[in-house]
């Protein structure tokens, strides 16, 4: 028996979530975002699972695209931030990638090179996120330059990213949407706009191409869940076991700094999972966990390899009991990663991408190497 900590990845749930994303936007091509090792789920395994469903994948960097190509993934792959230096263009060409163009230097580099096959390009416009992209008033010239170079670039789309699509206050979202839609109409350009929150909650942002990310992994990015997001199924279950039990009288501190102090005679379970595995050290006392499918909570600061949970209300629980940090219990019951994130003052994105390499990933019941 090895250390009882594993990230169980349910690839059927991944496909279910992809179909949900695609079904919510029947007029759009849904590109599965696999950056950051598929948000911690394993990009190669997720790409294989979505092969035949998703017509295209997206990643953040060329290294991530190389890893997919080396694993035999043949679908089109797009670099969401494009190249980071002009010399990457040779690899873009060799690997048959598409790319975003968000800056003048990228545009010049793309137009200065005559590839064997033109490179698919998404022109990124800053409609209000104020991170990457051409200002709207300069986007038209960039678009015209790309249109005039069919030997260099192809499959042109106008791309933009929303800052507040997850919010119940749609004011700023509408301003961004109107900006980019007006530009697209003027240029007669197909659009690539929607990330997970806009796919789930803002059909007016569905374009020729959508870019679902976190929703594929079953996390709900919306500030307030809606009927679509409630259909998402968790893909990762982070699963460990109780490895020791302490019986403590009232008034005893538990763990580093004695943050948690027993208010009654208590049974404290020690779980083989800590921040050295990626579990968030910001988890407060009261952060939910499932023990044999029943809810209880963190009691004491998370340490590197272990954490402590309150078993006082769970007399049957003991050494070997299953502990689900988020995801699905074998005993029934689900703990959403979004709920855990709220107790850690963060978002599900950071918890999922934060699961460290020492946690083995097991796909549909089989551990991968
Ligand atoms: C990460 C990313 C996405 C996916 O966003 P989600 O909120 O995870 O759906 C879409 N577009 C771009 C440009 C991204 O960087």
Q: Judge contact between 358 and 343, C-beta under 8 A.
A: no
Q: Is the pLDDT of residue 367 over 90?
A: no
Question: Do residues 127 and 23 share a domain?
Answer: yes
What's the mean pLDDT in 38-45? 98
Q: How far is CA 77 from CA 12, 80, 286, 349, 360, in A?
A: 22, 9, 42, 22, 26
Q: Give the tokens for residue 248.
A: 């403590």
pLDDT at 242: 98
Residue 209's beta-bridge partner residues? Answer: 29, 192
Q: How far is Cα 41 from Cα 361, in angstroms, rounded to an integer? A: 8
| End-of-domain residue from the set 217, 250, 283 | 217
218 alpha carbon – ligand 1 mean position (Å): 14
Q: Which atom of ligand 1 is nearest to the CA of 80?
A: 13
* 304 annotated as belonging to a binding site for a ligand: yes
Nearest CA, atom 13, ligand 1: 80
My answer on whether 99 and 150 are in the same domain is: yes
Question: Which CATH number do you get for residue 351?
Answer: 2.40.37.10
pLDDT > 70 fraction of the chain, expressed in percent and rounded: 99
Q: Are residues 126 and 26 located together in one domain of the fold? A: yes
- Taking phi over 0 as left and psi of -120 to 50 as alpha, with beta for the rest, 333 belongs to left
Distance CA 271, CA 298 (A): 10
Mean residue pLDDT of the chain comes to 97
Q: Is 166 in the same domain as 33?
A: yes
Q: How many residues does the chain have?
A: 369
228, part of any domain: no
Please classify residue 154 by burial: count the beta carbons closer than 10 Å to its beta carbon, then call 0-12 exposed, 13-18 middle and 19+ buried.
middle
Cα–Cα distance measured from residue 364 to residue 277, given in angstroms and rounded to the nearest whole number: 21
Cα of 114 to ligand 1 centre, how many Å? 30
| Same structural domain, 211 and 79 | yes
Q: Are residues 86 and 163 in the same domain?
A: yes
pLDDT digit string (tens) for 224-264? 999 999 999 999 999 999 999 999 999 999 999 999 999 99
Cα(211) to centroid(ligand 1), Å: 6
Name the residue with tokens 């890893």. Answer: 67
Q: How confident is the model at residue 313 (pLDDT cuts 50, 70, 90)?
A: very high
User: 355 near 238, Cβ under 8 Å?
Assistant: yes
User: Does any domain span residue 165?
Assistant: yes
In a domain, 223, yes or no: no
The C-alpha atoms of residue 200 and residue 227 are separated, in whole angstroms, by: 9
Mutate to test the pocket of ligand 1, among 32, 34, 43, 58 (most ligand atoms within 8 A of CB): 58
Give residue 41's domain range: 11-217
Number of domains in the chain: 2
Tens digit of pLDDT for each residue in 333-366? 999 999 999 999 999 999 999 999 999 999 997 7
Answer whether 328 contacts ligand 1 (Cβ < 6 A).
no
Question: Which residue in 18, 35, 39, 217 is the catalytic one?
Answer: 35
Pair 151, 211 in one domain: yes
Clarify whether residues 111 and 240 are in a common domain: no
Residues 145 and 60 in one domain: yes
> Which tokens go with 59?
């990643």
The Cα–Cα gap between 86 and 119 comes to 14
Q: Are residues 177 and 254 in the same domain?
A: no
Q: Report CA(367)–ligand 1 centroid distance (Å).
A: 28
Is 264 contained in some domain?
Answer: yes
Dump the DSSP string for 207-238: -SEE---GGGGT----SS--TTGGG----EEE
Q: Is residue 119 part of a domain?
A: yes
Residues 6 or more apart whose Cβ sits within 8 Å of residue 312:
264, 265, 266, 267
The verdict on whether 275 is a catalytic residue reads no
- Determine if ligand 1 sits within 6 Å of the CB of residue 124: no
Start-to-end CA distance of the chain, whole Å, equals 17
- Residue 131 annotated as binding? yes
Last residue of a domain, one of 170, 188, 217: 217
Co-location of 18 and 103 in the same domain:
yes
Spell out the residues 6+ positions from residue 89 whose beta carbon is closer than 8 angstroms to its own: 83, 109, 110, 113, 115, 119
For residue 128, the 8-state DSSP code is S
Q: Any idea which residue has 């994303």 for tokens?
A: 21
Domain at 86, CATH number: 3.20.20.10
Structure-block tokens of residue 140? 């038209």
Establish if 41 belongs to a structural domain: yes
Burial class (CB in 10 A: 0-12, 13-18, 19+), 261: middle
Domain membership flag for residue 4: no
Residues 102-143 have pLDDT tens digits of 999 999 999 999 999 999 999 999 999 999 999 999 999 999
Place of tokens 């793309």: 110
- The question of whether 256 is a catalytic residue gets the answer yes
CB of 80 sitting under 6 A from ligand 1: yes
Domain identity same for 68 and 121: yes
In a domain, 6, yes or no: no
Greatest alpha-carbon pair distance for the chain in Å reads 77
Give the pLDDT score at 73. 98
Last residue of a domain, one of 154, 186, 217: 217
Instruction: Please work out whether the CB of residue 133 comes within 6 Å of at least one atom of ligand 1.
Output: no
Which whole number is the average pLDDT over 148-160?
98
Q: CA 198, CA 129: separation in Å to the nearest integer?
A: 14
Closest residue to atom 15 of ligand 1, CA basis? 80
């Amino acid at each position: 028996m090895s250390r009882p900590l594993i990230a169980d990845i349910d690839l059927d749930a991944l496909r279910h979530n992809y179909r949900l994303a695609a079904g919510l936007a029947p007029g759009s091509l849904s590109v599965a975002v696999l950056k950051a090792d598929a948000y911690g789920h394993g990009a190669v395994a997720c790409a294989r699972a979505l092969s035949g469903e998703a017509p295209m994948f997206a990643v953040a960097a060329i290294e991530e695209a190389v890893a997919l190509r080396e694993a035999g993934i043949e679908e089109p792959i797009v670099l969401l931030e494009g190249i980071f230096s002009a010399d990457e263009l040779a690899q873009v060409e060799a690997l048959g990638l598409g790319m975003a163009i968000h800056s003048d230097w990228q545009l010049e580099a793309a137009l200065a090179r005559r590839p064997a096959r033109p490179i698919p390009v998404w022109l990124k416009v800053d409609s209000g996120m104020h991170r990457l992209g051409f200002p709207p008033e300069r986007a038209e010239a960039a678009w015209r330059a790309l249109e005039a170079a069919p030997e260099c670039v192809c499959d042109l789309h106008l791309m933009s990213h929303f800052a507040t699509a997850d919010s119940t206050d749609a004011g700023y979202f509408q301003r961004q949407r109107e900006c980019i839609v007006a530009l697209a109409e003027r240029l007669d350009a197909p659009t690539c706009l929607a990330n997970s929150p806009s796919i789930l909650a803002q059909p007016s942002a569905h374009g020729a191409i959508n870019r679902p990310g976190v929703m594929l992994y079953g996390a709900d990015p919306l500030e307030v869940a809606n009927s679509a997001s409630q259909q998402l199924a968790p893909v990762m279950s982070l699963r460990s076991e109780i490895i020791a039990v302490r019986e403590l009288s009232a008034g005893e501190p538990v763990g580093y700094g004695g943050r948690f102090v027993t208010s009654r005679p208590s049974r404290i379970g020690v779980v083989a999972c800590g921040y050295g595995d990626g579990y968030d050290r910001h988890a407060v006392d009261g952060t939910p966990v499932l023990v044999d499918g029943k809810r209880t909570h963190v009691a004491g600061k998370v340490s590197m390899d272990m954490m402590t949970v309150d078993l006082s209300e769970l007399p049957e629980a003991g050494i070997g009991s299953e502990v689900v940090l988020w995801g699905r219990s074998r005993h029934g019951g689900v703990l959403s990663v979004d709920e855990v994130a709220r107790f850690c003052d963060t978002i599900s994105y950071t918890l999922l991408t934060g699961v460290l390499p020492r946690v083995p990933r097991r796909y549909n019941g089989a551990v991968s190497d």
